[in-house]
Structure 1
Amino acid sequence: MSDLDRRQALGAIAAGVAVTATGHPLHASATPRAPDLIKAENDKSGTTDWQLTYTKFDTKARYRQSLIEGYCDNMSVSAGDTLRLFVSTARPTPVGIEIYRLGYYQGTGGRHVATLGPVDVKPQPTPPVGSMRIRECAWEPTTTLEIPKDWVSGVYVGKLTAEKHRYQSYVIFVVKDDRPADFLFQCSTNTWQAYNKWPENHSLYDNDRPDKKPLVSGVRVSFDRPFAKYPQVVDNPLSLGSGEFILFEFPLAFWAEQHGYDVTYCTNEDVAVGGVPFVARAKAFLSVGHDEYWARAQYDTCIGAVKAGVNFGFFSGNSVCFVTKYLPTADGRANRVIERVGRYGGLKPEEGKWMADLPEPGPDEALLIGARSVIPFNGSGDWVVTKPDHWIFQGTGMKKGDRIAGLVGWEHHGDPAAIPGLEVVAAGKTWNGGEEESHYEATIYPGPKGNTVFNASTIFWAQGLSNPPGHWVPYVHNGKSNGPDARVQRITRNLFEKWRGA
């Protein structure tokens, strides 16, 4: 980009106008708005057949199902792109692949959009342990999928079924677009991969250090491998291969699409690569569920988007905690390996019990979110109202001290930042197993252009919105969310309506 283009881009951003990747203003005519796209999509016939029925895990590698497993060569694709699928089975068998878009669809949770195969699948090698404990598959591609031009942005799963032994698993990917929309739903794909133990114990939390500290540098994970069963907090074997989407993010997507909100989807990587223009085409950015691992470019993009007037909803916990570096694969494909390299806000003395050797600190995440991860960072508790006269509580009937039982967990934010105009709208205590006490603060603060940044301060916020097919309400640290709650739904509706200008 030339200096002139850069100045034009900065001027456009300052004015709250989205710009293209080359720095030129993105006019509404470049990609037409389609505010009824999600409503029209969800008017189509759905099915509950997208759900898995049969899974069986390996005896030694408790989170792996080597009977049938797979991955895609990209976490996100655009219409017209070609996606490669890599599938392995314990013994040769034909495999059927049914592709579904996940959404509301009259309460069924998914719509069937394509069939691939059956294709002949054979065993593919488990990769050796590489440098920094990485397990990076170099499998032969099984089949390809050209993304049709009319596929709507969303989260898609490929349901893999082996004909010879019935067992199943998912592959998962996001279809993105560049259209202006009211809401940009960011899937927390970095965090999905950070916790992925495939094939045995090879997440970012597993290392060979004598001190056994789990949160250190010097460990890498690759997207070129299947997603194992999620290893903590909620044991849902029928979410196998879907990362953390069904567990912690799907309830918000299901609810948003149920109500016809104009939402489009992306991944962490898309935000880091796309920059401010990619985010500023939306009126509001949604961080959902467990959104722990952010590249520095992601953070800078979102700070820039707040300054450009984008609203932000952190319906998440432990968000923007670790500085994440993207690295290429062994064969040179960009952004398919991640490494934890730093702690946003720097490593605090009280965090030394779990963390060490994080040499690249980032800015304090509270300057974006409004609050930050606190110690102890695990626990459960009630979400207690402190400012009932705030507009987010309109129509809830809530009074000061009223609480939504079990909504806070299993990680949360506290210690609000000294941001002008920031308000604490809910606050209280959490307990880890009844022994370790901590605290949280839910916050909201004004941006420079009439926009707002809301921090729900809990991974479990989405649990209060819906309980879609395939989803299990988690129980953790001796507490659980009680599932859908009319007050959570109304608070979220108040925020969404404000942000979209209704």
Structure 2
Amino acid sequence: MGEVRRWESGALAHGVSDPFGQGPLPWLRGEPLSGDVPWYVDLAASRGKAPRKPQLPGPRTADDVRRQIKGFAATADAVPGGAVDFRITVDPPQEYTVDVYRIGHYGGDGATQVTASPRLSGISQPDPLAAGRTVSCHHWWQSWRLQIPPYWKPGAYVAVLTTADGFRSHVPFTVRDLEARADLLLLLPDVTWQAYNLYPEDGRTGASLYHAWDEEGRLLGEEEAATTVSFDRPYAGAGLPLHIGHAYDFVRFAERYGYDLAYADARDLHAGRVDPTRYRGMIFPGHDEYWSVPMRRAAEQARDYGTSLVFLSANTMYWQVDLGPSPTGDPDRLLTCRKRRGEHGRGEAPKGRTALWRDQGEPEQLLLGVQYAGRVPQPSPLVVRNADHWLWEATGAHEGDAIPGLVAGEADHYFPRTPLPESTERILLAHSPYEATDGRTRYQETSLYRAPSGAYVFAAGTFAWSPALDRPGHVDLRIQRATANLLDRICKHI
């Protein structure tokens, strides 16, 4: 493979847990090697000027060592008619532009451009601050304010930052209107995204809840990783979270087929801004591993009210976390998870227990119906079970059919000795053997139950479900139809 630069090793380390990567955002498909630079990085065309034939090579991805251009959204007031403040560093200082895209189907493009900044004067911001393993850029100056027009649709957005000399980075953000009613509320897992963020991935300073660096630039594991990470910093590498593609796969699928969606972040759930009575279902579209107590209580209350819950990944609600204010007092800008056993004082998990939900006496199976079983080293087939159930109706799937590659990344299954939630109906819709990391055969399971309130709770139990909805090279028509069967039943409140 050749020599790996030390600041790249973090991405390589995380890659083993997510075989799907960041997903098919067109600007992440690699740098153009021949032909035209694609439309979504043609800055002249984006400003209404005559299209020009760009010079090769195309824009290059900024990195966390030289920080050619990096940024983050510093405010959470992203509502139609509101604003988003960006803090951006540019090295060397030069002009840059910001092109803003909304993620969706858009005829297969996957995104559409909604606005572009004027040319902005970039400055080199101070180095990130580090308090122990916690890295923050809350002291950076504000660079640009995006005024959100009242007519903008709520949704998942990405700001694409490009310097005059052709370096590029990204900032994801969510525009939401939580006062409006919709059939389905999509909750983007920004808490889990931040847990994995190793910014700056520079071989020196950066730290996530998984990794940090030693003095030689070698990657350290969880025992030496951060206990607290900050939202006030860019995402490592290209500027997009590790698992963001899973959520975008579902967004493209759902908008293609016209589902009535509202949007929010996990921190909205944490802060009590989500009213579940406004929705028939709440969708958790991607890897969603880190949950605070208020997040879980809100989901439980939604289910008990009658709002269905759809979990389209695996390893959901595994770690219990706390959210706290930034040094400047902004709420929910610091994320804390105490993974190491035997830590006492300072609010750590009591009696030497880790902050696993199951160690705290509340196994995730009590809400999900299944829970995390382990990693899946090589993709394996998902084996259909109970094929006569309505979820599999008109999919063409038969009992025992094996859907290739649909058990991947990580897997859940039913733990017989772990308590189950109250239900009026409960069924397992897949029972899939795979070879675990220890070489033993284990089983993935997909679960559906109906709560006494009438709410459905679905847990896919695999990382590969959302990519099967709209990821080029991974689409499976059976999974698309099964998902539509589920969403249609929830939306019609059958």
Q: TM-score of the superposition, structure 2-length normalised?
A: 0.78
Choose the corresponding residue for 1:55, options 56, 60, 67.
60
CA RMSD between the two structures: 2.7
Once the two structures are superposed, the pairs formed by residues 247-266 of structure 1 within 5 Å of their partners are 247-266=245-264
Choose the corresponding residue for 2:209, options 199, 204, 212.
204
Alpha-carbon distance, 1:170 to partner: 0.9
Alpha-carbon distance, 1:51 to partner: 6.3
Alpha-carbon distance, 1:242 to partner: 2.4
**Deviation by residue 1:292-342 (Cα, 9 ceiling, x = unmatched):** 111110000000000000111111111111111101111111101101136
Alpha-carbon distance, 1:106 to partner: 1.5
Moved more, 150-159 or 277-286: 277-286
Once the two structures are superposed, the pairs formed by residues 346-495 of structure 1 within 5 Å of their partners are 357-358=354-355, 361=360, 363-376=362-375, 380-416=379-415, 417-419=419-421, 420=423, 421-432=425-436, 435=439, 437-467=441-471, 483-495=474-486
State whether residues 443 and 454 of structure 1, in contact with CA within 8 Å, keep that contact through their aligned partners in structure 2: yes
Structure 1 unpaired stretches of 5+: 1-47, 230-239, 344-354, 468-472, 474-481
Report the residue type matching 2:254 in the other structure. Answer: A
Aligned counterpart, 1:93: 94
Query: How many residues are matched?
Result: 415
Alpha-carbon distance, 1:429 to partner: 2.2
User: How far apart are the structure 2 equivalents of 1:362 and 1:382?
Assistant: 33
User: How far apart are the structure 1 equivalents of 2:261 and 2:331?
Assistant: 27
Relative to structure 1, is the Cα distance of residues 89 and 177 closer, same or farther in structure 2, using a 3 angstrom cutoff? same
1:313 has 2:310 as partner: yes
Choose the corresponding residue for 1:332, options 329, 332, 342.
329
User: How far apart are the structure 2 equivalents of 1:246 and 1:213?
Assistant: 23
Aligned counterpart, 1:67: 68
Once the two structures are superposed, the pairs formed by residues 123-142 of structure 1 within 5 Å of their partners are 123-142=124-143
User: How far apart are the structure 2 equivalents of 1:375 and 1:396?
Assistant: 28
Percent of pairs with identical residues: 28
Moved more, 131-140 or 67-76: 131-140
Choose the corresponding residue for 1:296, options 290, 293, 296.
293
Alpha-carbon distance, 1:404 to partner: 1.0
User: How far apart are the structure 2 equivalents of 1:483 and 1:65?
Assistant: 35
State whether residues 321 and 337 of structure 2, in contact with CA within 8 Å, keep that contact through their aligned partners in structure 1: yes
Moved more, 74-83 or 309-318: 74-83
Choose the corresponding residue for 2:231, options 219, 223, 227.
223
Aligned counterpart, 2:21: none
Report the residue type matching 1:309 in the other structure. Answer: G
State whether residues 435 and 441 of structure 2, in contact with CA within 8 Å, keep that contact through their aligned partners in structure 1: yes
The alignment partner of 1:177 has SS state of coil
State whether residues 383 and 401 of structure 2, in contact with CA within 8 Å, keep that contact through their aligned partners in structure 1: yes
User: How far apart are the structure 1 equivalents of 2:257 and 2:284?
Assistant: 19
Alpha-carbon distance, 1:216 to partner: 8.3
Alpha-carbon distance, 1:129 to partner: 2.0
Alpha-carbon distance, 1:246 to partner: 4.5
Q: TM-score of the superposition, structure 1-length normalised?
A: 0.77
Alpha-carbon distance, 1:284 to partner: 0.8
1:177 has 2:177 as partner: yes
User: How far apart are the structure 1 equivalents of 2:72 and 2:260?
Assistant: 29
